[in-house]
A and B are shown apart, each in its own frame.
Chain A
Amino acid sequence: MSGPGLVPYLIVSALLFGVGVAGVLSQRNALMVLMSVEIILNAAMLALVAFWRFVKPDNYDAQVFVIIIVTIAAIEMAAGLALMLLVFRQRGTTNVDALKDLKQ
């Protein structure tokens, strides 16, 4: 009996993606929305690594791509946290419902 193949990893990735989608749609706090976006990115990374391992194991481009995704995620988190800190100082809240007037 061999270990789990490609499909089990991809299913885990799909589940993680669904959790992230539910979080992005349901959370009130912008910080929690950012964290849910991180979960979605993690799901994408898991799918990439699984594809690399089981489809093209001798081509390491996928790993480089994952490294770049991690980097971009860190940047997104830093910029998002800075924005949220600014909004929190100005308004005293980071609820996304309280930021409706941004569109005006």
Chain B
Amino acid sequence: MNGVIEWTIFIALSAVVVFSAAGMILTMSMYRAGLALMASFVALAGLFILLDADLLAAIQVMMNVGGMLVMVLFMVLVMTDPGGEMMWGMKRDMHMPGLGAFSMHMPRGKPPAEEEAPQEKMVTAWACPMHPEVQQDQAGNCPKCGMQLLSAHDRASSQTQDEQHMHNAAMAVPSPADMGGHHGHEMSHAMHEDDGMVNGMSDGEQSISPPQTTGDHAHMMDASGHDGQNMDMANHDMNMSGMTPRQNYQMMVDMAMSTSQLPWAIALGIASALLLSVLIVKTPWPISLSGPTQDATSAVGQLLLSRYMIGFEGAAFLILAGIAGAVILAKRERPTGPQQAEHTNAAEARAANRTDSEGQVYTCPMHPEVRQAQPGHCPKCGMSLIAVEHKGSAPRQNTQGEHA
């Protein structure tokens, strides 16, 4: 084969092999990771063909791509896979820099405190309407201007129309609890509005603390982001308005595919690859100039059947053992039929008992003072008792007969 063509194919296939493998560990979705791994496998099969190992290329495609990868994708389907289009949309809207543009790793630092504590403080704090830096626990007068201090409630009610409007907009941001996949578009839309709002508040409205709405959290988060507390560089830009730092942290943890040590792991991988490359280049390999002489497929088949029979049979036995172990391990313990039926019957019986004892009282139509829990006959006149509601006033017909 012409050398230039061979080099071109080699470089292209190598790029696919290495970069799709790197994409596998950097993506946010396990499904995408499986697809990237498949691309890496297929390109590696191409490299095998380039190395005159056609049989191995076929085996690579059949075993790795056809077998293992289907298993991986099935596994991803079974598990809950954080990722997909929603994540990409969120990342696009958050303008995440650096490695964060590809991957979502665990936030560094300790989780921020629960949001209850700062909220309490904001509510109970008394502040001067003119000097927001004056804050104290009880009511009184401002030491600077002598004005009466206002509580957070008073400040909230004295808001201007404009701010009310903006806080209504802030309230429209969905809470992280209902952050389902179908909310992706609405959320990204709301996030855009919210960004502008937070900036406006932090620039121009330092004088008045916002009331206890989601805008409150946004303000707090803005401040904490500027302080750099508990937020590293990647996290800072990922602060979503409308979420407390705690919720933001929790969302980051839920979405993360890799640990916070991802940069170190990447550095270590690059270092090991460089070390190996240096060793490879420095070593004088005894390179043979001849090519493969025989037909590879028949030669490998002969070897497998003669010299490596035991090894291959052992591998096949290991496959069987692995599959059998997988089936045994994966066998699910579920309640058997009769037990389940018993359980249901018991539940029904309990429900019926409760209805009888609490919901229904039987009384005589002629003697309303006769009341008892079981149906029967009136001890005074012998008439059969009828059912009434436990606390109801009007006696009603016994519906037990209709049910039975």
Q: Which residues of A contact B (CB under 8 A)?
A: 1-12, 14-23, 25-29, 31-32, 34-36, 38-39, 42, 45-46, 49-50, 52-58, 60-61, 63-64, 66-68, 70-79, 81-86, 88-89, 94, 97
Minimal Cβ-Cβ distance residue in B for A82: B326
A77 to B323, CA, bound (A): 10
A13 vs chain B, min Cβ distance (A): 8
A20 to B44, CA, bound (A): 14
Once A38-B64, A71-B63, A83-B329 are accepted as A-B contacts, the answer to whether A23 and B24 lie under 8 Å apart by CB is: yes
Within 8 A of A (CB), among B252-275: 256-259, 261-262, 264-266, 268-274
Check A14 against B273 for contact (C-beta < 8 Å): yes
Once A11-B280, A20-B21, A66-B56 are accepted as A-B contacts, the answer to whether A29 and B30 lie under 8 Å apart by CB is: yes
A63 vs chain B, min Cβ distance (A): 5
Judge whether B106 is part of the interface by a CB distance below 8 angstroms. Answer: yes
Check A78 against B79 for contact (C-beta < 8 Å): no
Once A28-B258, A49-B53, A82-B326 are accepted as A-B contacts, the answer to whether A60 and B300 lie under 8 Å apart by CB is: yes
Minimal Cβ-Cβ distance residue in B for A85: B330
Check A64 against B303 for contact (C-beta < 8 Å): yes
- Chain B's interface size range is 35 or more
Binary flags per residue of B165-198, CB closer than 8 Å to A gives 1, else 0 = 0000000000000000000000000000000000
A63 to B304, CA, bound (A): 10
B63 vs chain A, min Cβ distance (A): 5
Q: Name A18's contact: one of B37, B79, B270, B304 (CB within 8 Å).
A: B270
A25 to B264, CA, bound (A): 9
Instruction: Name the A residues within 8 Å of B22 (CB-CB).
Output: 19, 22
Instruction: Name the B residues within 8 Å of A54 (CB-CB).
Output: 285, 287-288
B4 vs chain A, min Cβ distance (A): 6
Check B268 against A21 for contact (C-beta < 8 Å): yes
Check A79 against B322 for contact (C-beta < 8 Å): yes
Check B323 against A7 for contact (C-beta < 8 Å): no
Instruction: Name the B residues within 8 Å of A64 (CB-CB).
Output: 300, 303-304, 307-308, 311-312
B347 vs chain A, min Cβ distance (A): 25
Judge whether B60 is part of the interface by a CB distance below 8 angstroms. Answer: yes
Check A81 against B303 for contact (C-beta < 8 Å): no
Check A17 against B272 for contact (C-beta < 8 Å): yes
Minimal Cβ-Cβ distance residue in B for A23: B25
Binds A, one of B291-299, B360-368, B386-394: B291-299
Closest 6 CB pairs of A and B: A18-B273, A22-B269, A3-B6, A82-B326, A26-B265, A14-B276
Query: Can you list 6 A-B contacts with CB-CB less than 8 angstroms, sorted by A residue number?
Result: A9-B47, A17-B276, A28-B257, A28-B259, A57-B292, A78-B71
Minimal Cβ-Cβ distance residue in A for B105: A26
Once A67-B59, A67-B304 are accepted as A-B contacts, the answer to whether A22 and B266 lie under 8 Å apart by CB is: yes
Binds A, one of B122-130, B203-211, B230-238, B313-321: B313-321
Instruction: Name the B residues within 8 Å of A83 (CB-CB).
Output: 329
Check B290 against A58 for contact (C-beta < 8 Å): yes
Minimal Cβ-Cβ distance residue in A for B271: A18
A70 to B294, CA, bound (A): 23
Instruction: Name the B residues within 8 Å of A72 (CB-CB).
Output: 315, 318
